[in-house]
């Protein structure tokens, strides 16, 4: 399945049906009077957050969603049928934006959440409603209310507890593959990851969700490389895991590049708790590990963990450090009989 996290849709609610102008005509009834029925109500357009979706790819192939119009009223006081509603089923975590791409119409953060996007028009009154003592045969009926048309943007921000940050080839996908059943693409060239990946990881009988996004480079907030297109997917995370490649030869500059980018992006990312990890320590001896750890801790101003995603060394300690920053309400019990659960 292809990944799509931004799309444009066009919606239109149903117009209300027109009221009817009709008079009762039956044998032996001289003054039947008006009996025009009301028009039916137009259908609404709703959005609903559903389970089992993690992409907006369905909206690439259908962008127009039109609810049915209400039917007109009829004689014998018959009310027209209401138009059927239409529901846009979106993944949990979808933001619905107005046409300006800035005004948030709704934020679908809970499963089963429903939001009304466009209300259907009311049906018009038939001439029966206009009968008075002075006007026994009104020849007047109301038209139905018009439909509402809107252009909206859907932007998906994945729901995850931990977000992975780092330069390309920092080892983010390797870490996700080593600690979960996710199988992201792993290769020895930059930008192997082209779209976000989610993995469920567990430690000490509790599990949480980790999001891996494409690597950032300097100037990403200005659109360089893959830009900041995917940083929105870690906005909802409780903690960020910042992986620094210990084999790069410029780890201090690498760390600072990521910090500069998340500060320039905004969205509160720079204020989130961060766990900094020196990755790929399987390629170093103990002396080199200690030297680089001390150097990076002096730059970060806090503790730096050592880890190797490729060999699995210290991955459990990193998961425990992440879990400490996640609220207990967001954690889930890991299934005891799941043989694939790690570590």
Question: Is 308 part of any known ligand binding site?
Answer: yes
Could you tell me which residues come within 8 angstroms of residue 338 by beta carbon, excluding any fewer than 6 positions away? Answer: none
Question: Is 197 part of any known ligand binding site?
Answer: no
Question: Is 282 part of any known ligand binding site?
Answer: yes
Alpha helices in 180-250 (DSSP H): none
Partnered with residue 11 across adjacent β-strands are: 65, 150
Contact 212, 173 (CB under 8 A): yes
Question: Is 281 part of any known ligand binding site?
Answer: yes
CA-angle at 50, arms to 49 and 54, nearest 5°: 95
- Using alpha carbons, list the distances in angstroms from residue 97 to 100, 227, 317: 8, 21, 40
Question: Is 303 part of any known ligand binding site?
Answer: no
Question: Is 310 part of any known ligand binding site?
Answer: yes
Contact 316, 206 (CB under 8 A): no
Question: Is 172 part of any known ligand binding site?
Answer: yes
Question: Is 215 part of any known ligand binding site?
Answer: yes
Question: Is 192 part of any known ligand binding site?
Answer: yes
Question: Is 151 part of any known ligand binding site?
Answer: no
Contact 319, 201 (CB under 8 A): yes
Question: Is 334 part of any known ligand binding site?
Answer: no
- Using alpha carbons, list the distances in angstroms from residue 294 to 34, 90, 123, 241, 303: 91, 46, 73, 19, 9
Whole-number Å distance between alpha carbons of 178 and 183: 9
Whole-number Å distance between alpha carbons of 127 and 82: 19
Question: Is 213 part of any known ligand binding site?
Answer: yes
Question: Is 208 part of any known ligand binding site?
Answer: no
Question: Is 168 part of any known ligand binding site?
Answer: yes
Question: Is 38 part of any known ligand binding site?
Answer: no
Record the tokens describing residue 323, joined without a space: 């879990």
Phi-psi map region of 93: left, alpha, beta (phi>0 left; psi -120 to 50 alpha): left
CA-angle at 324, arms to 319 and 328, nearest 5°: 110
Q: Which helix (H) or strand (E) holds 317?
A: helix 315-323
Question: Is 272 part of any known ligand binding site?
Answer: no
Binding-site residue numbers for Mg(2+) are: 173, 193
Binding-site residue numbers for GTP are: 166-173, 191-195, 212-215, 279-282, 308-310
Binding-site residue numbers are: 166-173, 191-195, 212-215, 279-282, 308-310
């Amino acid at each position: 399945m292809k990944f799509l996290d931004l799309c444009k849709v066009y919606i239109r609610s149903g117009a209300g049906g027109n009221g009817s102008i009709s008079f009762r005509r039956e044998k032996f009834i001289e003054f039947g009077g008006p009996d025009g029925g009301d028009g039916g109500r137009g259908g609404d357009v709703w959005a609903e957050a559903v389970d089992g979706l993690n992409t907006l790819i369905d909206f690439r192939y259908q962008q127009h969603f039109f609810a049915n119009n209400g039917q007109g009223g009829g004689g014998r006081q018959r009310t027209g049928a209401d138009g059927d509603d239409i529901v846009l089923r979106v993944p949990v975590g979808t933001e619905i934006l107005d046409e300006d791409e800035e005004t948030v119409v709704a934020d679908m953060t809970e499963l089963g959440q429903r939001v009304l996007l466009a209300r259907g028009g009311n049906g018009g009154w038939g001439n029966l409603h206009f009968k008075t003592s002075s006007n026994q045969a009104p020849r007047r009926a109301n038209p139905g209310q018009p439909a509402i048309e809107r252009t909206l943007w859907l932007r998906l921000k994945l729901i995850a507890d931990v977000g992975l940050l780092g330069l390309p080839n920092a080892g983010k996908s390797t870490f996700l593959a080593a600690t979960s059943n996710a199988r992201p693409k792993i290769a020895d060239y930059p930008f192997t990851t082209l779209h976000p990946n989610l993995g469920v990881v567990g430690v000490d009988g509790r599990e949480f969700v980790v999001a891996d996004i494409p690597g950032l480079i300097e100037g990403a907030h200005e659109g360089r490389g893959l830009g900041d297109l995917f940083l929105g997917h870690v906005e909802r995370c409780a903690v960020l895991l910042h992986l620094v490649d210990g084999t790069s030869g410029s780890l201090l500059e690498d760390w600072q590049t990521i910090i500069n980018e998340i500060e320039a992006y905004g969205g509160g990312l720079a204020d989130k708790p961060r766990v900094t990890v020196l990755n790929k320590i399987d390629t170093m001896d103990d002396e080199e590990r200690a030297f680089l750890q001390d150097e990076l801790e002096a730059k970060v101003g806090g503790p730096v963990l050592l880890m190797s995603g490729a060999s699995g060394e210290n991955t459990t300690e990193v998961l425990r450090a992440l879990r400490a920053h996640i609220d207990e309400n967001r954690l889930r019990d890991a299934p005891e009989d799941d043989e694939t659960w790690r570590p």
